[in-house]
Amino acid sequence: MKTIKGPAIFLAQFAGDNPPFNSLNDISRWGASLGYKGVQIPTWDSRLFDLKRAAESKPYCDEIRGILASNHVELTELSTHLQGQLVAVHPAYDEAFDGFAPECVHGNPSARQAWAVEQLKYAAKASANFGLRAHVTFSGALAWPYLYPWPQRPPGLVETAFDELAKRWQPILDVFDSVGIDLCFEIHPGEDLHDGITFEMFLERLGGHKRCNILYDPSHFVLQQLDYLEYIDIYHERIKMFHVKDAEFRPNGRQGVYGGYQPWLSRAGRFRSLGDGQVDFAAIFSRLAQYDFPGWAVLEWECCLKNSEQGAKEGAPFIARHIIQTAERLFDDFAKSGADSEGNRRMLGLARKGPIDAD
């Protein structure tokens, strides 16, 4: 069995304009000081990283590795959440999502999509240059505005959306396959891939593409009221990345899953700092260890109550406590009887005690 690597931290929610959050050197040193052994880098944040340069220059990747090594942390994975979102955007969200792309493609959905696809291809090459095994992104969404079937969805609407989604991602997945990198979709509300069934619909249209995999984040399943432990049982062969994020769901007589359009602080379902929510992390880490999860346990901090720096400080020891150092020998090895194959047959009454009379 494998021991999960970690703790690590996703830098997206911590990057900022003030030290130590405005450069990779400083923010990685800060993370290491809290006990993190790895960092996951958001590739859209130019204060920390240059994705195109990483795709085209191995010396630049060596420089990044050197910065991290000097601060005693590793690069766990790269992230293209924002760029992946732009691979598939329903027109209702065009204006809102333009902000994820350069100004030169604003108001031009086809140019924005082409830019996003190029970014994903850069990410595949950059990940290979770093010697990474996996990359995380969002799927984007074409069908999301039609999540709840009222008015009744016309026949074929969802199928057409998923056909198109798979068509857009197939060539990107092929690029990741060509460099030996797993592309992990964070299963997330707001994306067309938001639960197990939608992932299956997508995967089926891709012919079971071996590079189409999952970033597992239980917080999104708490808010959907989905069984996040059985999810691991069902999809463990496709789970290649793990965000450690907590959440709580406290419905009442006024609101439930949909949250009544309320801000995060007032919603029945909301994200929390590690240990403050309802996620059973002991069970999750056990399941992942059981199935030989090959990757890192990465903190993604999101909480509407607690300060981010307190959340980060508490997160590293929380993850470290939950990582299971998997067994190298069976707990009952002390009771080995030393039996061999013939001994096993004797114990079952199958050993021959003499010649058998053919008559």
Q: Total structural domains in the chain?
A: 1
Q: What local confidence, expressed as pLDDT, does residue 54 receive?
A: 98
Residues 105/97, Cβ–Cβ less than 8 Å: no
Separation of CA 134 from chain center? 9
Q: What local confidence, expressed as pLDDT, does residue 306 receive?
A: 97
Q: What local confidence, expressed as pLDDT, does residue 354 receive?
A: 61
Q: Is residue 168 part of a domain?
A: yes
Q: Is residue 357 part of a domain?
A: no
Q: Give CA–CA dist 137/87, Å, rounded.
A: 10
Q: What local confidence, expressed as pLDDT, does residue 133 receive?
A: 98
Cα Rg of the chain (Å, integer): 24
Q: Is residue 9 part of a domain?
A: yes
Exposure letters 185-207 (e unless 16+ CB within 10 A, then b): bbbbeebbbbebebbebbbebbe
CATH number at residue 164: 3.20.20.150
Assigned token pair, 40: 């996951």
Q: What local confidence, expressed as pLDDT, does residue 236 receive?
A: 98
Nearest Cα residue to 167 out of 137, 195, 139: 139
| Residues in the chain, overall count | 359
Q: Is residue 354 part of a domain?
A: no
Nearest Cα residue to 134 out of 191, 173, 189, 90: 173
Residues 51/72, Cβ–Cβ less than 8 Å: no
Q: Is residue 355 part of a domain?
A: no
pLDDT (tens, 9 = 90+) of the chain, 359 residues, equals 789 999 999 999 999 999 999 999 999 999 999 999 999 999 999 999 999 999 999 999 999 999 999 999 999 999 999 999 999 999 999 999 999 999 999 999 999 999 999 999 999 999 999 999 999 999 999 999 999 999 999 999 999 999 999 999 999 999 999 999 999 999 999 999 999 999 999 999 999 999 999 999 999 999 999 999 999 999 999 999 999 999 999 999 999 999 999 999 999 999 999 999 999 999 999 999 999 999 999 999 999 999 999 999 999 999 999 999 987 766 556 556 667 888 888 889 897 666 655 55
Q: What local confidence, expressed as pLDDT, does residue 344 receive?
A: 86
Q: What local confidence, expressed as pLDDT, does residue 334 receive?
A: 56
Residues 220/189, Cβ–Cβ less than 8 Å: yes
Q: Give CA–CA dist 101/106, Å, rounded.
A: 7
Q: Give CA–CA dist 290/167, Å, rounded.
A: 35
Assigned token pair, 52: 């195109």
Within 10 Å of residue 56's Cβ, how many Cβ atoms? 14
DSSP 13: T
pTM score, whole prediction? 0.93
Q: What local confidence, expressed as pLDDT, does residue 351 receive?
A: 75
Q: Name beta bridge partners: 184.
A: 136, 213
* Coil vs helix vs strand at 194: coil
What are 290-294's contacts with CB under 8 Å, separation 24+? 290/1, 291/232, 291/236, 291/237, 291/239, 292/1, 292/2, 293/2, 293/4, 293/236, 293/239, 293/242, 294/2, 294/133, 294/240
Q: Is 119 exposed, middle or buried (0-12, 13-18, 19+ CB in 10 A)?
A: buried
DSSP 141: B
Which ranges of 88-227 does DSSP label H, i.e. alpha helix?
A: 94-98, 109-130, 157-178, 196-205, 218-224
Q: What local confidence, expressed as pLDDT, does residue 330 receive?
A: 60
Q: Is residue 283 part of a domain?
A: yes
Within 10 Å of residue 72's Cβ, how many Cβ atoms? 13
Q: Is residue 47 part of a domain?
A: yes
Q: Is residue 358 part of a domain?
A: no
Domain, as residue range, for 239: 5-347
Q: Give CA–CA dist 121/317, Å, rounded.
A: 35
